[in-house]
Amino acid sequence: MTLAGELESLLPAGTSLVFGQLRLCRRDDGSFEACHLDDAEKRESLEPIPSAPALRELAKFDAAGEYRPLKTAPTLRGGWITRCDEAAEFLRRLDAIYPGVFATWIAYAAGRHHPTSLRRTLDRQTGMYRRAGTITDGMARRLIRELCHIGCLRTITWPIHDDDPVARATASPGTLPMICTEACTLAVNAARTLAKEARAAGD
């Protein structure tokens, strides 16, 4: 099934889903709507955003005008709504807000996309990140606690080591999961910072 087909099937007419900070709705006529969760009760007064590029621009900054390099940070601003008739276009708009998150979930749930351990991610780095893999497991847990858990809405599905046990993510009723299958650039950068601090402390 295509990704658009998967979205249609997960969101039948007359239903809604929570997706990160979004409320996704399929109206009785089959059309799609998305708005911020906080705005779900005032949909008629929201500013319509009619395209993926416009939504990408909206998702670029938080309510205070600060740049959002991580699109799954819990800082999506509200006050808008986007509506369209076609699932493929709706998916394009969701990807403008949460790039690739839906496709990642579909591939993971189907067993076609597998998490990459933190060690594997860090150990393949080169250039300015070549020492990121020198962090201890304790530092890795601190990174997860202080960066990932606080700053990102995704559920981590990767272990620290390849052979560490990790719970498989599942979809709660009424939600579309937002999973992380590999540490992102911000996490790799944070590992580099921790490694540098450790070296400086050891000098």
Return d(Cα 87, Cα 98) in angstroms, integer: 16
Number of amino acids touching another protein (CB under 8 A):
31
The Cα angle at residue 200 between residues 131 and 161, in degrees rounded to 5:
35
Does 75 sit near another protein (CB under 8 A)? no
The two structure tokens encoding residue 137: 């497991």
User: What residues between 1 and 30 interact with another protein by CB under 8 A?
Assistant: 2-3
What's the closest the beta carbon of residue 188 comes to another protein, in angstroms?
10
Site string (35-64) toward another protein, x via CB under 8 A: ------------------x--x---xx---
Report the residue number, 127 or 202, with the smaller CB distance to another protein.
127
Q: Please name which of 132, 142, 120 lies closest in space to residue 192, comparing C-alpha atoms.
A: 132
Please answer whether residues 27 and 114 qualify as being in contact, where contact means their C-beta atoms are separated by less than 8 angstroms.
Answer: no
Q: Exactly one of 44, 45, 64, 127 binds another protein (CB under 8 A); which one? A: 127
Q: Exactly one of 23, 71, 119, 192 binds another protein (CB under 8 A); which one? A: 71
What's the closest the beta carbon of residue 117 comes to another protein, in angstroms?
13
The two structure tokens encoding residue 1: 């099934």
Cβ-based neighbours of 14, under 8 Å, separated by 6 or more: 26, 27, 28
Report the residue number, 3 or 18, with the smaller CB distance to another protein.
3
